A and B are shown apart, each in its own frame.
Chain A
Amino acid sequence: MGVTNGRVSIGKRRLGAALALLAALAWLPGAPADDALPQRWVSAGGSLSEWVVALGGADRLVGVDTTSLHPTFLQDLPSIGYQRQLAAEGILALRPDLLLGSEEMGPPPVLQQLRAAGVRIETLSAQADLATLEDNLTRLGALLGEPQRARQALAAFRSRIESQQAWIAEAQRSQEAPGVVLLLGHPSGSAMAGGRDTAAAWLIEQAGGRNLTRHSGYKALSSEALLALDPDVVIFTDRRLLEADEARQALMRQNPALASTRAAREGRMVALDPTLLVGGLGPRIPEGLAALSAAFYPARSPLPAEATPDR
């Protein structure tokens, strides 16, 4: 864990530990006081946990939910279960000062019990847009006592998205925006396709593609409907489907409709990490977008992966 936090001095850490101890001793309803920074954090949101780590708060996390999978060391922390199905006593056993989560966190009676037990509850939005991200990072920066770092992370995120947009605009001079479909799950049966109001659609549009589906949410797409949409690019959320040649061929055999789409004929199938689709914009979004854009516009050389937000 310490890797992410090399710049924090030893003295500051000791102070942190002492504060945590103090907070634990003074663990009464109503405490801790609002002006003290929360030291023991439980995070119930994948992207939020990632940001906490990116902003140098990894050693404050004492528990995470099942959607907090990145960076992988978070999976070693105690798991509080699924974010909409939290258990009050389990969380209290971790003696947290703060419970961080999105508007999906619940159930409400459990949040009330936690609040009554003096746990501060911060609800940030999981909306996938830049304005929300700015609010979230500002709040996290304040809570971590790292406002400067939060501003830098936001600026870096913004500038990467902007240069990506410029790159796409440049690429679109020589190539039309491709039509794209994102398929969740294994496409041998009826895979679920991301509709127009999903995070999948947001990612596709941001990466310079056109999301072809017209439904809302994630809905099963029949083979025939897939054929009718005839996407230029198909995105899968399982890397293993595309890694080996045999897997790829097996996939084509199992789904003849998929095999006869333009995307399959031209070999334009991409894998995307499904964790990018949940919980709002996380620090790995620019990377994911850059990979998608590179697949959408193969003729243009991809943007170098510099200016990754500080992690």
Chain B
Amino acid sequence: MNPAIRPRSLFIALSLLLALALWGSLALGPVSLPLGDTLQAALRLLGLTLGGSELNQAQLIVGQIRMPRTLLGLAVGAVLALCGVAMQGLFRNPLADPGLIGVSSGAALGAAIAIVGGAAFGGIPEAIAPYLLSLCAFVGGLGVTALVYRLGRRDGQTSVVTMLLAGIALNALAFACIGLFTYLADDATLRTLTFWNLGSLNGASYARLWPLLLVTFAVAFWLPRRARALNALLLGESEARHLGFEVERLKRELVFCTALGVGAAVAAAGMIGFIGLVVPHLVRLLVGPDHRILLPASMLAGASLLLLADLAARLVLAPAELPIGIVTALIGAPFFLYLLMRGR
């Protein structure tokens, strides 16, 4: 496969795209702020004060609303795309997405339990209540993935095919349980559940951000170190083993990394589809399958695209907002189809 463009030009283009997305995410919104105010407010966040003018509104909007939202979008987009690459590498299939190993359905089940159960039982301590949903989603994603991994193991070997099938079965089971909770839910909790399933970066705050940032840093640091092993895995499991890579350990690490990354992203922003599937695919079409380039490029592209999608989500219907999952799927699905048709 001949790369369409050279890696260096791709990185330059992606960096420019990310810079543009960052600028848009900080400078644009339903409240129109003068560009100068936005810049000054952003600089003040870094502790730099230029000019002494009062900037209360700009500081508030840029500092407390747009900045946490931008960081959230950056982290969610990056981690979803990275985990997408990891999954497509593990299953050696460009159609794999993190949902395959149960992390999304598990997180959705956790969220359903938190939303419906929380409304039914009440009496949740003040300190936990705001974090209950995220916590349950994270634990649910991790739990179901652990189960899928456990079911895929036999005699110290992990069978990717068994894992795939176990994932399908457990996804079905998880969605059945979600259906049960949906049935039990009243109108209000039902709508909360529906919206959660569409994802949103709305209401991001620094306090809820740091666990995801931590996980994103860890994944972004760790996955590129396994790029060579992932490349070897492309040839096949036994080939990779003969090349001297510890394939069992690699599989375990990839699954764990994806569960952690996607679990944290979903816990923070709800279900956001198509980034994990489309972005790695797109980047692969541009620069070929070498994971040493694919991983960092997907990370940049995922973050930029999610930020741009969020920008659309908050501007199209202002002052109301569109759930971002709708935007990513609405743009992602036709684009994916286009890629498929063109590749024929």
Interface residues, chain A, CB within 8 Å of chain B?
Answer: 27-29, 63, 66, 78-82, 84-94, 104, 107-110, 112-113, 116-117, 216-219
Contacts and interface: CB of A to CB of B under 8 A. Distances in A.
Nearest to A184: B187
B192 to A, nearest CB: 6
A90 B205 contact: no
11 contacts: A27-B57, A28-B56, A81-B319, A82-B320, A84-B195, A90-B314, A93-B319, A108-B203, A109-B203, A116-B60, A117-B57
A78 B30 CA distance: 12
B338 to A, nearest CB: 31
Given A89-B314, A113-B64, 11 more contacts: A66-B320, A78-B319, A79-B317, A80-B319, A89-B66, A90-B318, A92-B31, A108-B130, A109-B204, A116-B60, A216-B186
Interface of B: 29-32, 56-57, 60-61, 64-66, 130, 183, 185-188, 191-192, 195, 200, 202-205, 208, 314, 317-321, 323
A81 B188 CA distance: 15
In the A-B complex, list the 7 residue pairs whose CB atoms are closest, starting with the nearest: A81-B320, A90-B319, A109-B203, A93-B30, A87-B321, A93-B31, A110-B203
Contacts of B32: 93
Q: Most chain-B Cβ atoms within 10 A of its Cβ — which of A27, A86, A87, A112? A: A87
B61 A107 contact: no
Nearest to B186: A217
Contacts of A92: 30-31, 61, 65
A80 B188 contact: no
B320 A89 contact: no
B205 A85 contact: no
A218 B187 contact: yes
B150 to A, nearest CB: 35
B319 A116 contact: no
B188 A109 contact: no
A85 B204 contact: no
A113 B185 CA distance: 28
B61 A89 contact: yes
A31 to B, nearest CB: 10
Q: Most chain-A Cβ atoms within 10 A of its Cβ — which of B30, B32, B130? A: B30
Given A107-B203, A109-B208, A93 B191 contact: no
